[in-house]
Structure 1
Amino acid sequence: MNSPIWRPFTQMKTTPEPLKVKRGQGVWLELEDDRRILDCISSWWVTIHGHSHPVLAEALYQQAQQLEHVIFAGFTHDPAEKLAQKLLTQLPSELTRVFFSDNGSTAIEVALKMAYQYWRNLGENRTTFITFEGGYHGDTIGAMSIGAGSTWWQKFRDLMFETALVPFPETYQGDMEIERKEAEVLEAIEQLLKQQNIIGIFIEPLIQGAGGMRMCRPQFLKNLQILAAHFKVLLIYDEVMTGFGRTGELFACLKSAATPDIICLSKGLSGGCLPLSVTIATEAVYQAFYHDDPTQAFYHGHSYTGNPLACATGVASLGLLTQNPEAYQRLESLHWKFLDRYLLDHSRLKQFRVCGTIVAMEVKTNEESGYFNAISPLLRAKFLEAGFLLRPLGDTLYIMPPYCITEDELESIYEVIDRVLKSL
């Protein structure tokens, strides 16, 4: 294939040619040569209902005949208003104000600027965010800065601002040290908060995504909220990946019973149909911008802010989630069932963890653990050859399927992982 396309997260010189997909249906992708691939990762975690879902397709079709786009400054429309209202009915009541943007990275940039200006509007010159090692929040400069623990961003270091970086208290099956780890992290955060220059705390609640599917306990998030409230700093949840059922609850903040001051949502927001994100804030945050002085306003926006097509699919997607929560709630027990049947005793695997629809584990290798571990492209190629789309994050192997996956289809993923690992 002689394509002019420069692909994301790809070393173009050494990576094999991409596979051309001609259609998708449910969990399946059909290639140009008629081979079928089982999408085990929801196409980078967005396609929560599966491909070509008829309800989403119909919503998109109907909206396209009425209004495809309109400037969102000075105008509004039903899809955006409905989506905002429906989101608020599913979130903690303290979250009241919805700001639209285009993708996960922009939702994070909005939260960064919103939190920073919040304190400026109140007359305080706070300068620092607390962030977590292993965090990933997107690829724009601000998002990279708060995900500075990633090895990907070293070449951009001079463009990024500094944060106060603390360990992430990751845990897994059989972890006997988790209470000690949590206590040490909370103590480190408390010492930073005493400096009184902290804008807010950014965290991916329950699961760090691209940082290796590292998981923390709900009670850690509750203790973090208590600490943030005591020192009166903003708690900001990046639920770009964890939102819309991924953790077994509609939102991770519901599972942890800890309400943030600002929450960022994207990926599954439109059901995987179109780019869309929201940054949702409490009334207290919003009121710091609500002023007669125009310079107190939040000056941020994008050309496609609140796009009607994306919002219409968002309304339809949220309807599917609330009408049939069992679709995502059933997956955690199935993951444990098949882990026990195929992988828990596997000699090549360790550190098993499950949260809702997501399962992750580490592959034992002789290399240093991390994203550039050579096991990743090797496994990816073998899985594709067998008809399965799995993209290990270095030596972290994970499954994050669309919610429409059947029990037999899910079991086949575990079977192929077992078979491929035994062949190495």
Structure 2
Amino acid sequence: MNQFDIFFDYKHIWHPYSSMINPIPSYCVKSAKGIYLKLKNGKNIIDGMSSWWSAIHGYNHPILNKALKKQIKKMSHVMFGGITHPSAIALCQQLISLTPKKLDCIFLCDSGSVSIEVAMKMLIQYWQSLGQKRRLFLTIKNGYHGDTFAAMSVSDPENSIHKIYNNLLPKNLFANTPKSSFHKNWNTSDIISFKEKIEKNSLKIAGVILEPIVQGVGGMNFYHPTFLKEIKILCDYYRIPLIFDEIATGFGRTGKFFAFEHANVVPDILCLGKAMTGGTITLAATLSSRHIANTISESNVKCFMHGPTYMANPLACAVANANIKILKTNEWKTQVSDIESQLSKNLLPLINHPYVTDVRILGAIGVVECSRSVNMFLIQKFFVKNGVWIRPFKNLIYIVPPYIINTYALKKLINVIIEALDDNSLFI
């Protein structure tokens, strides 16, 4: 069978958020290196998405590849039940060194969505251990936490991609999204909706869950750090544990190693994923406080009831260790700062474009909010034809490039976005 049989792919393979009857065509990538994806026809295109936020050092990084090769000679996988291994221990040591002192218990899992499931199950079991059957979670609208069931239940119920499942999902609490943006003044009225809901339901809420500062595919909103501070005060007052979902933002994307550092607050549970392995292989982690871990462990059940087959996969742990060592050189700080500066210089002026309603920039994230929705098929074809890989959704064109991107390549991404905005045929 032809390894580049696109017709077979079109007919038999289901891609993310796609139809099997009339799917958006997929482009065949035969290799990737640095910031470039090489297509079947030999054309190199600049990756503006870091493979959905994950490939922060680009592709085929020699240090990451070396770590994978070294580990696979020992073992690619071993079960974590009743067994441990050096790569997992080393990774957990590194994670504890990078995160607030309070977060010193780590559950390694196999995807970001699973890390959210784990966090929510932890809090349900935590309250059961205390003799309380709390089931509700409080969050804000326009959020996105993943595609598994518990994760969907705390993603926006009205405007998210999960709306069709609403009748099947647990009903949770959604406060209004703060309107104070990251770079503007704080408006004290932004906390009112959240405060009312936590006050009214404080004895029913198992936990609060938020994407700190940056809301991802729920709308790519960047909200004010003071909102997080106010949330933390309320959670502490009502003794409700706080979960931060840093799956997309962790490991430097916003200009801080973790987005919650912009507000100088610490959660009770932290979920990590995506960039943890530098975009090489799937891995995630749920970090909790010792108090939560001990409360669960001291219950009648005496253990946390979760255990993925590929939990703490040695290959993934080994490359995550190598990725963190690269990050510890702190070169990412300069890289992300340079990206932010160039986005501010070249992307921000699009705020004056007649078909643009807003432009948002934070760290290595650039968002153009359009007044019209994109025609996904046509705009994807346009981007590839012009040598870039950008994956918009709804009315948002956004880029989260690898940290290693150079000035020329980033300017190319921005210029192609400008050209797309000027082409009416690419929008609905």
User: Is the TM-score greater than 0.5?
Assistant: yes
Map 1:6-85 onto structure 2 (within 5 A).
6-85=14-93
Q: Does residue 163 in structure 1 map to residue 169 in structure 2? A: no
Aligned to 2:92, the other structure's residue is in SS state helix
1:370 aligns with none
Q: When the two structures are superposed, what TM-score results if normalisation uses the length of structure 2?
A: 0.92
1:66-97 deviations in whole A, cap 9, x for unaligned? 12111101111111111111111111111100
CA drift of 1:395 comes to 0.3
Cα displacement (A) at 1:180: 4.7
Moved more, 330-339 or 258-267: 330-339
Structure-2 residue corresponding to 1:2: 8
CA–CA distance in structure 2, aligned partners of residues 151 and 139 of structure 1: 11
Partner of 2:291: 284
What are the equivalent positions in structure 2 for 1:266-305 lying under 5 Å apart? 266-291=273-298, 295-305=301-311
- Tell me if 1:107 matches 2:115: yes
Q: Deviations over 1:268-319 (max 9, x none)?
A: 011111110000001111110233x661310101110000000011001111
Tell me the residue number matched to 1:261: 268
CA contact (8 A) 1:343 1:414 kept: no
Match of 2:388 in 1: 388
| Aligned twin of 1:198 | 205
SS of residue matched to 1:361:
strand
Equivalent residue for 1:412? 412
Q: Does 1:308 align with 2:317?
A: no
Q: Is the 8 A contact 1:172 1:352 kept in 2?
A: no
Q: Deviations over 1:195-244 (max 9, x none)?
A: 42111111011111111211111121111111101110010001110111
Pick closer, same or farther for the CA change 1:90–1:37 going to 2, 3 Å: same
Deviation at 1:99, TM superposition (A): 0.1
Name the aligned partner's letter for residue 261 of structure 1: D
SS at match of 2:309: coil
Q: Which residue of 2 aligns with 1:345?
A: 352
**Distance of aligned partners of 1:286 and 1:406 in 2 relative to their CA distance in 1, 3 Å threshold:** same
Equivalent residues of 1:45, 1:241 under 8 A apart: yes
CA distance in 2, matches of 1:140, 1:151: 13
1:105 deviates by: 0.8
Tell me, in whole angstroms, the C-alpha distance in 2 between the residues paired with 1:305 and 1:299: 13
Q: 1:137 aligns with which of 115, 135, 145?
A: 145
How far apart, CA to CA, are the structure 2 residues paired with 1:18 and 1:375? 15
Alignment of 1:90-105 (within 5 A): 90-105=98-113
Q: Percent identity?
A: 34
Aligned CA distance change for structure 1 residues 184 and 381 (closer, same or farther; 3 Å)? farther
| CA gap 1:120/1:165 in 2 versus in 1, 3 angstroms | same
Moved more, 183-192 or 203-212: 183-192
Partner of 1:322: 328
Normalised TM-score (structure 1): 0.93
User: Which one of the candidate residues 205, 214, 224 is aligned to 1:207?
Assistant: 214
Residue matched to 2:96: 88
CA distance in 2, matches of 1:175, 1:350: 16
Q: Residues of 2 paired with 1:184 and 1:25: CA distance? A: 48
Q: What is the DSSP-based 3-state SS (H/G/I as helix, E as strand, rest coil) of the residue aligned with 2:171?
A: coil
* Separation of aligned partners in 2, 1:169 and 1:156: 25
1:342-401 Cα shifts (integer Å, max 9, x gaps): 523222212221121111121122xxxxxxx34444433321221211111210111100
Please list the CA deviations of residues 5-63 of structure 1 after superposition, one character each: whole Å capped at 9, or x if unmatched: 11111123333431111110111000110111111011111111101111100000000
Quote how far apart the aligned CAs of 1:418 are.
1.2
The DSSP-based 3-state class of the residue aligned with 1:404 is: coil
Q: What is the distance in 2 between the residues matched to 1:230 and 1:354?
A: 33
Aligned to 2:399: 399
Say if 1:173 and 1:352, in contact at 8 Å, map to a contact too. Answer: no
Change over 3 Å in CA distance of 1:179–1:355 after alignment to 2: same
Aligned amino acid, residue 315 of structure 1: N
Is residue 176–residue 194 contact of structure 2 (8 Å, CA) maintained in 1? no
Q: Distance in 1 between matches of 2:273 and 2:282?
A: 8
SS at match of 2:398: strand
CA contact (8 A) 1:67 1:308 kept: yes
| SS of equivalent residue, structure 1 residue 214 | coil
Aligned length: 413
Give the Cα–Cα distance (whole angstroms) in 2 for the partners of residues 356 and 374 of structure 1: 25
The DSSP-based 3-state class of the residue aligned with 2:266 is: coil
Q: CA contact under 8 A between 2:137 and 2:206: conserved in structure 1?
A: yes
| Further displaced range: 277-286 or 7-16 | 7-16
Change (3 A) 1:379 1:180: farther
Q: How far apart, CA to CA, are the structure 2 residues paired with 1:398 and 1:17?
A: 20
RMSD value over aligned CA atoms?
Answer: 1.8
Corresponding position of 2:4: none
> Matches of 1:33 and 1:216 in 2, distance apart?
42
1:152 to 158, 161, 164: 161
Per the alignment, in what secondary structure is the counterpart of residue 351 of structure 1?
strand
Q: CA deviation at 1:322?
A: 1.4
CA distance, structure 1, for counterparts of residue 234 and residue 191 of structure 2:
12
Map of 1:224 onto structure 2: 231
Secondary structure of the residue aligned to 1:50 is coil
CA distance in 2, matches of 1:191, 1:288: 24
**SS in structure 2 opposite 1:397?**
strand
